């Protein structure tokens, strides 16, 4: 077994790898950028090495810096985690050339699966069914268009170098094809430096089913069953589970068998995932499931597989990288129970899922379920990296039980003032169709309105805040004003109404204290009363006490960049008339795209943004002059 391991990653996955390494007695080395100097993965590792400035391309993405860190700390092996350098065949080769152990597949396997067109060609040859389509040998727009017409609409245009849900366009009709092709190529060139595309039949009622595979350096390959990752937003996974609902033994045998064949075809060593797309219009069927791509690394959602198989996949990775054979044979592996994972993001579903940054003044993940996280209370969410802050994993003897526990866990999430998607996730998991196993990739987009919670507190939350204010030590906690001025109609006799004036954002109300304790949790924080309810956080203050969380924004028509990012598209010109809610520009920050919308009807009076431009936090991007009604 290797004795020391450098983890070329950050956040929850770095912490996850450290946990297993420590249990196995392997010394761990963290690397960190400026922004991560005090991060949890640095605190948890045995040793840590600074690798440069905060932007990933100046630190976590620089292979030479990672190698220098390994040399300086005497690390024997490098685990890349996911994202960053994990699927970079050139980096893997450099690690091997430096006589270090690469915890991952051979560079040749990464390369073979790196481009979607080449991978599909290889899979065709290996007898693995692939999504019907055109692999793009001739990239002329006319030929691509003719192929799309021949496949029949809807089709999906995909960047061959794509990943992370980017570089994909669904085309519903021939007339839209050329526009979609151009925009797909533009995005692919900007994101991946390669604008080649392929065309696929758009599968109806698509379900994302993937299979965990594992190979060792002795020629063994096994699968660890399937996961269903159909709950996606913008082609990115949000909730994953294992096994897949409605999976029968015949389909499982077909898809898991195809996955093993795919891994064998590229001589696979280590952890990998074969992603398939299934046409679930008549349930899962062995002949309606096709290879989509392979991810040659550990996947974000690996915990659900660990939970149903009782295995530690990071331990398997370290054993395999050390030259040991796979810990178990295929016949020794079995599915026990059900597992669900929800990705907790620092983002605000009530504001277009805008990433949310800042200090985690309050951070409590409820329940007794497994939570894989890279942060603790008091830590900072910086704007530089992926906004995923934790994965909540629930298990149960049945799917129903796992869902109940996941919903309960999500509803108990308490995070403030950073915003999270906990309430959104809880609603998705509690949805009756989800419970019934009626999942496909259109689930979230088609239900988005009912899944996004209101940003204003419900009545019960106002009442809870009022009760909590009354019960708390006003004089002590709310020093900024005479507490009794907040109480109106206060009378000493027991059955009188007790009223308290409260403020939430720009909304001030006079609330009658409820006789029965409403549901939820309230905690005082300085002069703020926080109420946590069903995954959301609401901050209340007494009127006149300054502060006042929330609100703000574009009420005066100036749209500032909410965080450092890159302008990727500008949809308006100076002088344009715009309608309330109209898209003004798209900003990319923390790997997510965010649209800035017109706050009201008006005219673009100032425009300081061009596509491709890097902007800092607080930059005035657009000013809208309100129209006289």
Which of 65/499 has CB closer to ligand ADP?
65
**Terminal C-alpha separation, the chain:** 73
Which of these segments, 159-167, 407-415, 460-468, 554-562, binds ligand ADP (CB under 6 A)?
A: 159-167
Which of these segments, 21-29, 202-210, 506-514, 566-574, binds ligand ADP (CB under 6 A)?
A: 202-210
Residues 6+ apart with CB under 8 A from 418: 346, 356, 357, 358, 359, 360, 381, 389
We find the least distance from the C-beta atom of residue 136 to Mg ion, in angstroms, to be 18
Closest CA to 466 of 517, 416, 415, 411: 517
Alpha helices, DSSP H, located in 380-535: 399-411, 422-430, 432-435, 443-451, 459-471, 474-477
Beta carbons of 622 and 585 less than 8 angstroms apart: yes
| Tokens of residue 408, six digits | 């309960």
Which of these segments, 67-75, 81-89, 92-100, 474-482, binds ligand ADP (CB under 6 A)?
A: 81-89
We find the least distance from the C-beta atom of residue 352 to Mg ion, in angstroms, to be 24
Beta carbons of 211 and 253 less than 8 angstroms apart: no
**Dihedral-angle region of residue 591 (phi above 0 means left; psi in -120 to 50 means alpha; beta otherwise):** left
Residue 156 contacts which entry, Mg ion, ligand ADP, none (Cβ below 5-8 A, type-dependent)? ligand ADP
Q: What is the spatial distance between Cα 590 and Cα 503, in angstroms, rounded to a whole number? A: 32
Choose which of 216, 293, 348, 411 interacts with ligand ADP (CB under 6 A). Answer: 293
Secondary structure of residue 622 in the 3-state scheme? strand
Choose which of 5, 6, 11, 542 interacts with ligand ADP (CB under 6 A). Answer: 11
Closest CA to 331 of 223, 258, 229: 223
Secondary structure of residue 569 in the 3-state scheme? strand
Residue 202 contacts which entry, ligand ADP, Mg ion, none (Cβ below 5-8 A, type-dependent)? ligand ADP
Q: What is the spatial distance between Cα 302 and Cα 309, in angstroms, rounded to a whole number? A: 11
Which of 168/221 has CB closer to ligand ADP?
168
Active site residues: 297
Closest chain position to ligand ADP (CB)? 83
| Tokens of residue 422, six digits | 């906990």
We find the least distance from the C-beta atom of residue 33 to Mg ion, in angstroms, to be 27
Interacting residues with ligand ADP between 564 and 623 (CB under 6 A): 591
Beta carbons of 241 and 395 less than 8 angstroms apart: no
Neighbours of 204 (CB within 10 A): 12
Q: What is the spatial distance between Cα 594 and Cα 586, in angstroms, rounded to a whole number? A: 6
Which of 201/623 has CB closer to ligand ADP?
201
Q: Is 547 in the site for ligand ADP (CB under 6 A)?
A: no
Q: Is 169 in the site for ligand ADP (CB under 6 A)?
A: no
Choose which of 206, 349, 453, 548 interacts with ligand ADP (CB under 6 A). Answer: 206
Q: Is 232 in the site for ligand ADP (CB under 6 A)?
A: yes
| Tokens of residue 389, six digits | 């802050």
Which x/- pattern, by CB under 5 A, does the window 269-288 give for Mg ion? Answer: ------x-------------
Cis status, amide bond into 268, omega within 30 of 0: no
Q: What is the spatial distance between Cα 427 and Cα 494, in angstroms, rounded to a whole number? A: 39
We find the least distance from the C-beta atom of residue 293 to Mg ion, in angstroms, to be 5
Which x/- pattern, by CB under 6 A, does the window 411-450 give for ligand ADP? Answer: ------------------------------x---------
Q: What is the spatial distance between Cα 66 and Cα 144, in angstroms, rounded to a whole number? A: 41
Please count the residues of this chain forming the interface with ligand ADP, following the rule CB under 6 A. Answer: 35
Q: What is the spatial distance between Cα 87 and Cα 92, in angstroms, rounded to a whole number? A: 8
Q: Is 314 in the site for ligand ADP (CB under 6 A)?
A: no
Q: What is the spatial distance between Cα 607 and Cα 230, in angstroms, rounded to a whole number? A: 39
Which of these segments, 113-121, 267-275, 385-393, 530-538, binds Mg ion (CB under 5 A)?
A: 267-275
**Dihedral-angle region of residue 551 (phi above 0 means left; psi in -120 to 50 means alpha; beta otherwise):** left
Choose which of 2, 6, 8, 13 interacts with ligand ADP (CB under 6 A). Answer: 13
Q: Is 386 in the site for ligand ADP (CB under 6 A)?
A: yes
Which of 209/394 has CB closer to Mg ion?
209
Which x/- pattern, by CB under 6 A, does the window 84-113 give for ligand ADP? Answer: x-----------------------------
We find the least distance from the C-beta atom of residue 473 to Mg ion, in angstroms, to be 53
Burial class (CB within 10 angstroms; exposed 0-12, middle 13-18, buried 19+) of 38: exposed
Interface residue list for ligand ADP (CB under 6 A): 9-11, 13, 82-84, 131, 156, 162-165, 168, 200, 202-203, 206, 208, 232, 235-237, 275, 277, 292-293, 295, 299-301, 386, 388, 441, 591
Interface residue list for Mg ion (CB under 5 A): 275
């Amino acid at each position: 077994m290797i004795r020391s391991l450098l983890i070329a990653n950050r956040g929850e996955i770095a912490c996850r790898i450290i946990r297993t390494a420590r249990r196995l007695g392997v010394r761990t080395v963290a690397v960190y950028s400026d922004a991560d100097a005090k991060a949890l993965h640095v605190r948890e590792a045995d040793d840590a090495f600074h690798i440069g400035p905060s932007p990933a391309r100046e630190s976590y993405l620089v292979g030479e810096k990672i190698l220098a860190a390994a040399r300086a700390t005497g690390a024997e092996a490098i685990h890349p985690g996911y994202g960053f350098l994990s699927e970079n065949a050139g980096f893997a080769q450099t690690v091997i050339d430096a006589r270090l152990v690469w915890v991952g597949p051979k560079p040749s396997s990464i390369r073979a699966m790196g481009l979607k067109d080449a991978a599909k060609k290889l899979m065709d040859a290996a007898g693995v069914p692939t999504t019907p389509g055109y692999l793009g040998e001739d990239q002329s727009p006319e030929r691509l268009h003719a192929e799309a017409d021949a496949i029949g609409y809807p089709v999906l245009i995909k960047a061959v170098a794509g990943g992370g849900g980017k570089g994909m366009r669904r085309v519903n009709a021939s007339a839209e094809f050329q526009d979609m092709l151009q925009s797909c190529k533009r995005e692919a060139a900007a994101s991946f430096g390669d604008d080649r595309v392929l065309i696929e039949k758009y599968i109806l009622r698509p379900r994302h089913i993937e299979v965990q595979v594992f190979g060792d350096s002795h020629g063994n390959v096994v699968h660890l069953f399937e996961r269903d990752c159909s709950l996606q937003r913008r082609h990115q996974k949000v909730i994953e589970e294992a096994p897949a609902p409605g999976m029968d033994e015949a389909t499982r045998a077909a898809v898991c068998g195809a996955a093993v064949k795919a891994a064998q075809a590229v001589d696979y060593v280590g952890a990998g995932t074969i992603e398939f797309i299934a046409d679930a219009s008549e349930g899962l069927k062995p002949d309606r499931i096709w290879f989509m791509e392979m991810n040659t690394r550990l996947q974000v959602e690996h915990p659900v597989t660990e939970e149903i198989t009782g295995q530690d996949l990071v331990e398997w990775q370290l054993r395999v990288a050390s030259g040991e054979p796979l810990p178990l044979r295929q016949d020794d592996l079995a599915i026990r129970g059900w597992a669900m994972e929800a990705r907790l993001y620092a983002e605000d579903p009530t504001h277009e899922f805008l990433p949310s940054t800042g200090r985690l003044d309050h951070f409590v993940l409820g329940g007794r379920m497994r939570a894989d996280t890279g942060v603790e209370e008091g830590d900072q969410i910086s704007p530089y990296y992926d906004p995923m802050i934790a994965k909540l994993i629930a298990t149960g003897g049945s799917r129903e039980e796992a869902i109940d526990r996941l919903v309960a866990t999500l509803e108990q999430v308490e995070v403030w003032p950073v915003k999270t998607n906990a309430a959104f996730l809880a609603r998705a998991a509690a949805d009756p169709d989800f419970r019934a196993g009626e999942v496909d990739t259109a689930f979230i987009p088609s239900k988005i309105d009912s899944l996004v919670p209101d940003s204003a507190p419900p009545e019960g939350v106002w009442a809870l805040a009022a009760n909590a204010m009354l019960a708390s030590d006003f004089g002590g906690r709310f020093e900024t004003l005479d507490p009794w001025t907040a109480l109106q109609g206060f009378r000493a006799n027991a059955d009188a109404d007790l009223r308290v004036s409260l403020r939430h954002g720009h909304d001030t109300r006079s609330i009658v204290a409820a006789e029965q304790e409403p549901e939820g949790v309230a905690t005082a924080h300085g002069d703020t009363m926080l109420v946590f309810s069903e995954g959301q956080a609401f901050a209340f203050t007494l009127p006149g006490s300054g502060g006042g969380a929330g609100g703000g924004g574009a009420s005066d028509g100036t749209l500032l960049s909410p965080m450092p990012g890159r302008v990727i598209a500008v949809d308006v010109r100076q002088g344009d008339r715009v309608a309330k809610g109209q898209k003004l520009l798209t900003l990319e920050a923390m790997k997510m795209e965010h649209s800035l919308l017109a706050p009201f009807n008006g005219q673009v009076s100032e425009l300081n943004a061009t596509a491709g431009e890097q902007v800092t936090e607080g930059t005035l991007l657009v000013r809208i002059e309100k129209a006289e009604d």
